[in-house]
Amino acid sequence: MNAAIPPLPVVILISGRGSNLQSIIDAVADDALPVEIRAVISNRPAADGLQRAARAGITTAVIDHARYADRAAFDQALQECIERFQPGLVVLAGFMRILTAGFVHHYQGRMLNIHPSLLPEFPGLNTHQRVLECGCKQHGASIHFVTEAVDGGPVVLQARIPVYQQDTVTTLAARVLQQEHRLYPLAIRWFAEQRLKLDDTGNAVLDGERLSDPVILTQESRAPC
């Protein structure tokens, strides 16, 4: 850990289970992630991830999308809530809302998302089902900077897994999720250590090199430094 860089203030947005949130909480607890999780915000009051955050002593908030007339009003309330915590990075961890352009622009270059597919393949929902239907031999998960295009921003890091003939949505989702839990703490660490950024031309840059392709975390490999 670089003692010269203070922990990065982070706000994490969730909608449900929060297993990716948990992987981030655990990495911070293990001293493997130089961030301070200032708050976890959910758009669903019943999201299980809120309990995970509370158990870890993290401040939680709910901005219930059902209480707002439209996306713009919800996003404005969400942004106001986030701003109270002054994050250097907003982490979407299973946050199941499409965000307005204004919101995305406000956090341009400082908002990451995780998606359960090998982007740019299979943006959107039901990725595991769609991978099985197309007969793909490979599947995986991606971390990307958030831009206006849904699941369309520059991809930073991916993990790939083979798709087996006997796979079901359940088995595939479980194996992808294991990879997700490796990917997110690593990408957040790169950002917190100021190794990862989005440049002025909208490209992801790692250690000063423009990423024309995402870094691939293989199944066997230990996480790279």
For the bound state, the minimum distance from the C-beta of residue 225 to ligand GRF, rounded and expressed in Å, comes to 24
Nearer to ligand GRF, 169 or 205 (CB): 169
9: which residues sit within 8 A by CB, 6+ positions away?
A: 35, 36, 38, 85, 86, 87, 88, 89
In three-state secondary structure terms, 112 is strand
Which residue's CB comes closest to ligand GRF? 94
For the bound state, the minimum distance from the C-beta of residue 163 to ligand GRF, rounded and expressed in Å, comes to 16
Active-site pick, 65, 105, 106, 115: 115
Nearer to ligand GRF, 180 or 210 (CB): 180
- Compute the distance between CA of residue 181 and CA of residue 23 in angstroms, rounded to an integer: 6
- Compute the distance between CA of residue 185 and CA of residue 25 in angstroms, rounded to an integer: 9
Quick check: is 115 catalytic? yes
For the bound state, the minimum distance from the C-beta of residue 187 to ligand GRF, rounded and expressed in Å, comes to 13
- The Cα angle at residue 41 between residues 108 and 152, in degrees rounded to 5: 35
Nearer to ligand GRF, 56 or 205 (CB): 56
For the bound state, the minimum distance from the C-beta of residue 17 to ligand GRF, rounded and expressed in Å, comes to 4
Q: Are strands 60-62 and 89-92 parallel, antiparallel or unpaired?
A: unpaired
For the bound state, the minimum distance from the C-beta of residue 124 to ligand GRF, rounded and expressed in Å, comes to 11
- Compute the distance between CA of residue 113 and CA of residue 151 in angstroms, rounded to an integer: 8
End-to-end CA distance of the chain: 10
- Compute the distance between CA of residue 21 and CA of residue 119 in angstroms, rounded to an integer: 21
Q: Are 191 and 5 in contact (CB under 8 A)?
A: no
Nearer to ligand GRF, 19 or 205 (CB): 19
Binding residues for ligand GRF, per CB under 6 A?
A: 16-21, 49, 93-94, 114-116, 177, 180
Nearer to ligand GRF, 1 or 149 (CB): 149
Active site residues: 115
